[in-house]
Structures are given as structure tokens and as C-alpha cells.
Structure 1
Amino acid sequence: MSKRSRKFFAGWGGVLLAVICLAVLASDTSGAEAKPVRKVLMIGIDGCRPDAIEAAHTPHLDRLVKQGLYCENTDILASRETKGDTVSGPGWSNLLTGVWPDKHGVVDNSFKGSSYMEYPHFFARVKEARPELKTASFSSWPPIAEKILSHSDETINAKAQHAQDYLVADDELSTAAAKCIRAGKSDVVVCYFGQVDETGHGNGFHPTVKKYVESIERVDGYIGRLLAAIDERQKTSQEAWLILVCTDHGGSGTNHGGGREKPEIRHVFIIASGTEVKAGKTSEPTYQVDIVATALDYLGIVPQASWKLDGQSVLDLKRSE
């Protein structure tokens, strides 16, 4: 073979080797499944007793419990001594900031002494760690949007004031939140429903109170809209949603204030459900502040020490099948 021929074949040999390498790399890439994008929906049901959920017909909440982790021993008060009445101001501050009243400063519904600049809504923590994530808040109790909320890319505040207002607002909020989810516009969504608490104040917080149970059943229907939107997203897009369900307090009679010593007021629940959550039930102690820690854990966000969060993720708790 001539010197020129050897150079020719050597050159084409290099090209052929490069083509084979590219083909192998392409094959490896196409064979690997892309990891689904993790997203979070937090559903808040104000004033919802867990025993009333058991008494109600709630196919959508039942589905979330069956497919997820049900924490049946959740406390709305800290294990350390802190101030704070068993009302919505401290409750939703606990749930949305991930710290107790001795840090966020809210001890009643006046919101006097709040420290949301230092201990903000958890959307701020999400944005600090992953600024590309989009957040959305849908609520009908005005203080959530007007006092607690920050760093939301989309906000709908229905501003309900009376019992009938909450019926309309919850319906509209669920439709708006489902539309937001279906459009793929947000990564972290909070949707608050207020009518269960209002019904409890008007008729009684108890599983034997028909109107109270019916309000939970209506909210379950709204939750069904949200789940239908998530189901669509997970079928058509590479997404894996964590659905968290929580409440700020239970109730006794037609009230819930001053309930630090009343189990039916302070002992509630957390549901953490999704395709990537191991199903089961746990009676281990959990707390309101665990909601934020759980959401951040699922999103792969490691809390900074400077955030001084009080909660722990519930996703790794021991559970019974």
C-alpha cells in the first residue's frame, strides 16, 4: 500500500471511530429516562378535625391517604414552651413559615409583633435556594395574602369575610388553582380553603354535626379538581407532585380559641401523598412546622442554618402499612 493510501485510510478510520463514539453516546443518552420534575401542592383546610374527615364521604382525601403517608399524631403546639393561642393567626404562620410563635411572633389574630422579615413565608426560602421555581398562592382568608405571604409569582386573594363568602371563594379558588396547575405555570402551589372553619363556628366542630361534615365533603370535591389537574400533568409531562394536606386547628363546640389543653383542638393531621412517597400511616409525633421542612426536602432544598427552621421532614418517618 502506498504512503498516500495509508494516510487516506488512517484519516477515514479516525472519522469512523468518531462516528461510532457519537453513536454509543447517543444510545446511552436515549436509553436513560429523564427524572421527573418534582413539584409541590400544599392544601390547607381551616378548622378541620380528623375525626370529621373519617365521618365524611371524602373519596379524594381517602385516595391521598391510601397513596401516601398519613400522620395521625400532629400537634399544633410546640414541644417547647411557646406562647400562641389555638387560632388561625399562629396556626397558618406555623404552617407557612416552618417556625413556632416564639420566632415568627404571631400569638393571636391581631398579628401584632410578627417577625416575617426574619422568618418569612416559605416561598422566600424556595426562591432563595432555587430562584427559577415559580410559586402561586390561592387563599380566601385575607391575612394569609395580606400579612404572611411573600415571594409569590401568582396570588389570588378572595377576601372572604362571611360564611357564605367562603362557599363561593373556595369554589372559585379551586378552579383557579387547578387552571394554574394544568397550565404548568407553577412549581410550588398553596391552596387554602376556609369554609370548614366558618361552618364550625356557625354550627359546631364535631363529626356528628351534619353541616360541618358536609362542608368537608364540599372541600373534598374541590380537592378533586386539583388532583384531576395534577393527574393530567403527570400523564403528559415529566412531573412528580407531592400533595400535602394540613389544617391550623380542630375545634370544640363552636370555637377553638384557648384550646391548648383540648385534644380535639390541638391534635390534627398531615397527609403527604404522591407517586414518590411510600404509603403508610405513622403515629410518631409530628408538628405543624413539619410541613415546610417536608416541602423543601421533596424539592431537594437543604435548609440553611440561618433560616432557623423548627420542623423536620415527615417523608422518612417510620410507618405501618
Structure 2
Amino acid sequence: MMNRILPCLVALAPAVWADPGPGDANDFHGKRVLIIGIDGLRSDALKAAKAPVIQGLAKAGSVTWTAVAGGAEEGPTHQPTISGPGWTSILTGTCIDKHGVSGNSMKPGIYQVEKAPHFARRLKETVPTACVASFTSWNWIEDYLIAAQPDAVDHHEKGIGKAYPERDADVKAKALDYLAKANPDVIFVHFDQVDGAGHSTGFSTENPKYMTAITTVDGLVGEIMASVKKRPQYAKESWMVILTTDHGGKGTSHGGQSPEERTIPMIVAGRSVPKLGVSKETPGQFVVPATTFQYLGVPVKAEWGWEPGTFGLQKPVIVSSAKGQPKS
């Protein structure tokens, strides 16, 4: 675990603990982003599950049930619907042609960190005092992706436990503790037990164990949301939530290009986010960083090589050219 959160933490004085957080005095005028990643979450299963918290987010903002994992079906961005490339795309804004990740190997040199760094590094290039935190149940994200650039993310921890639910509960507890003490501009929280249930018993709406795992994670998401709303400065903060996944699943596996594996949900919601309802858009999972930056008002630079697009926000993202001139 890397802990570099002095810019993010409130002071330790008792008076400050009673009123933590700068409210709207952060670098983004109170705007903050919570990114929730739920591993192996099929769109049809989320719609059918008992998941009132997540479904409530979908109703309150924008949702597409037809977002895409796996890049383009043909061409240089085509990649397996596997967790390694999926989460790397979500956290870097790029696909396999830039990040290089085709599976879950942790062999040094596969992940092209200089071509496709974590979005936190790009955020800090523009706003050096920005604070980003990460809590992940799937250890690969912490031990490989973040380990390749440990200074990019201010505070990052992985879940501890032998079983998927144990690690998810640990991630939830660590995220709750952090939200009570610190002031992240962006926080990523990842849960893994839905994928675990899919692998062990099947990715299907007809599988009670898979559906129960979704309900369980919905409860964890509810606790995270409640923690955000309990922040003493919440009234002055403006949180946006992005929720998505790395892939779907078929049978007890994934990695291919079937609709069951490629079709994923994406939700964007928040008090300052347009309530656009159900969208027929098909954004790639890689739009998460650009959507985050658009909300925070941070230009995306063309030389970063991010895949185009955002989701859930009406204005198009502004991309800076290599010479620094903005273009629409």
C-alpha cells in the first residue's frame, strides 16, 4: 500500500475533524468524482437484479446498457474481454494498441506505462495538487498497474482476504475510513465478487448465486454512497458517480467477443449531472477518464492518445492539440 495523502488529508486538530474538507474550495470548485468498478457485471443481470442503490443511480442520471468492453471488433483497439485489458482501458483511457495489456500476466514490460499511464498522472500533469485514491479488490490493479507508477495515485490499497466477499468487504471498510478522513478529488473503488460468482457458477440472470452477488455488492455501494453523503461539507461538494465494469461473461468464462462478454453497463449520476435517462449510446469502457476530466473541467490533450468520447455529460469534451491549442 502506498500512502502519499498529505494534500488530501484534513488536519488532525479536533476542531477540523468536526468539519473536515474544503467543501467547494478544492481545485475543482467542489466537484469530485467517485468511480465504482464492479468486475464481471452483465447489463442484463444488473437490470434484473435486486440492486436498488445502483438502479437508483441509473434513474437519477444517465445509463447505457450497451456500453462496450473489448475495444472495436476489428482493428488495433480490439482486445480480449479479460480483466487486465479491461481495467487498464478504464483507468488509462486507452486500448491494447497503446497500453499493451492483453491478459492478466504480471510480467514486467507488458504494460506500457509511459504510453498509457493511469489517468491520475495525467490529472496531476495539469493540476499538481489534485488528489486521487484507489481501493481495489482484484489485487492485479494494485500490484501491477499501480505498482508501475506508485507516485501517480496519492493513496491506494488493495483488499485483504481469502475469498471474494472478504476482499470486497475489506475494500469497502478501507474506502469508508478514507472518505471520513480525507478529501479526494477522484476516488476509485473496485469490487470483485460478482466476477467470482460468475466464474464459479455462471454469468447468467438464471444463476441465483450470480444475482445474489450483485445484490451484495449493491449493498456495499450503498454504504459508500452513504459515507459520501455524511461528509460534513457534502452540501458544498458536487459529486459525480461513474459505475461500469471490465467485461460481461458467458457460461463460466469471458475473454471472447460475444454480446454477453462485450455488452456492459455504464452509469453517470450526480446532482450537477444531467438526468438524461436511458441512452442507446455505445461508449467504450475507456471513456471513464475523459468523462471524469470533462466533469472536473480539465482539458484532455491529444498527445495523450486517449480514445475519443465521454458519456452522460452533454457538452463534448475539449481536446487540446499537441501545440496546446484547444479544439472541439
Alignment of 1:2-151 (within 5 A): 36-79=29-72, 81-82=75-76, 83-110=78-105, 113-149=110-146, 150=149, 151=152
Aligned counterpart, 2:14: none
Aligned counterpart, 1:266: 262
2:160 matched to 1:166?
no
Once the two structures are TM-superposed, the CA of residue 110 in structure 1 deviates from its matched residue by: 1.6
- Which secondary structure does the structure 2 equivalent of 1:78 belong to? coil
Aligned counterpart, 2:298: 301
User: Which one-letter code corresponds to 2:293 in the other structure?
Assistant: L
Q: Distance in 1 between matches of 2:175 and 2:308?
A: 26
Distance 1:128 1:92, change over 3 A: same
Pair member with larger Rg: 1
2:230 matched to 1:239?
no
- Which secondary structure does the structure 2 equivalent of 1:286 belong to? coil
Q: Distance in 2 between matches of 1:227 and 1:265?
A: 28
Once the two structures are TM-superposed, the CA of residue 111 in structure 1 deviates from its matched residue by: 5.0
Once the two structures are TM-superposed, the CA of residue 264 in structure 1 deviates from its matched residue by: 0.7
CA contact (8 A) 2:273 2:313 kept: no
Aligned counterpart, 2:158: 157
Once the two structures are TM-superposed, the CA of residue 237 in structure 1 deviates from its matched residue by: 4.5
Identity of aligned residues (%): 35
Aligned counterpart, 1:196: 194
- Which secondary structure does the structure 2 equivalent of 1:289 belong to? helix
Once the two structures are TM-superposed, the CA of residue 310 in structure 1 deviates from its matched residue by: 0.6
Q: Distance in 1 between matches of 2:84 and 2:314?
A: 28
TM-score (norm 1): 0.83
CA contact (8 A) 1:292 1:311 kept: no
Distance 1:236 1:110, change over 3 A: closer
Q: Distance in 2 between matches of 1:235 and 1:57?
A: 31
Once the two structures are TM-superposed, the CA of residue 65 in structure 1 deviates from its matched residue by: 0.6
- Which secondary structure does the structure 1 equivalent of 2:300 belong to? coil
Distance 1:154 1:316, change over 3 A: closer
Q: How far does the alpha carbon of each residue in 1:132-180 deviate from its partner, in whole angstroms, 9 at most, with x for none?
A: 11111101212101221241111111255x5xx2111111211221222
Aligned counterpart, 2:273: 277
User: Which one-letter code corresponds to 1:93 in the other structure?
Assistant: T
Q: Distance in 2 between matches of 1:270 and 1:181?
A: 23
Q: Which moved more, 1:290-299 or 1:306-315?
A: 306-315
Q: Distance in 2 between matches of 1:229 and 1:159?
A: 21
CA contact (8 A) 2:160 2:166 kept: no
Aligned counterpart, 2:222: 224
**Higher helix proportion (structure 1 or 2):** 1
Distance 1:63 1:289, change over 3 A: same
Q: Distance in 2 between matches of 1:140 and 1:236?
A: 26
User: Which one-letter code corresponds to 1:178 in the other structure?
Assistant: L
2:307 matched to 1:310?
yes
- Which secondary structure does the structure 2 equivalent of 1:185 belong to? coil
Q: CA RMSD in A?
A: 2.0
Q: Distance in 1 between matches of 2:181 and 2:52?
A: 25
Q: How far does the alpha carbon of each residue in 1:6-42 deviate from its partner, in whole angstroms, 9 at most, with x for none?
A: xxxxxxxxxxxxxxxxxxxxxxxxxxx9895000110
CA contact (8 A) 2:70 2:80 kept: no
CA contact (8 A) 1:175 1:225 kept: no
CA contact (8 A) 1:140 1:193 kept: yes
CA contact (8 A) 1:247 1:268 kept: yes
Where structure 2 has 5 or more consecutive residues not aligned to the other structure, the ranges are 1-23, 316-328
Where structure 1 has 5 or more consecutive residues not aligned to the other structure, the ranges are 1-32
Q: Distance in 2 between matches of 1:212 and 1:302?
A: 39
Q: Distance in 2 between matches of 1:70 and 1:121?
A: 25
Q: Distance in 1 between matches of 2:238 and 2:159?
A: 28
CA contact (8 A) 1:89 1:111 kept: no
Q: Which moved more, 1:242-251 or 1:297-306?
A: 297-306
Q: How far does the alpha carbon of each residue in 1:274-297 deviate from its partner, in whole angstroms, 9 at most, with x for none?
A: 001111121022111111110111
User: Which one-letter code corresponds to 1:49 in the other structure?
Assistant: R
User: Which one-letter code corresponds to 1:189 in the other structure?
Assistant: I
- Which secondary structure does the structure 1 equivalent of 2:188 belong to? strand
Distance 1:307 1:138, change over 3 A: same
Q: Distance in 2 between matches of 1:175 and 1:311?
A: 35
Aligned counterpart, 2:322: none
Q: Distance in 1 between matches of 2:281 and 2:48?
A: 23
Distance 1:107 1:120, change over 3 A: same
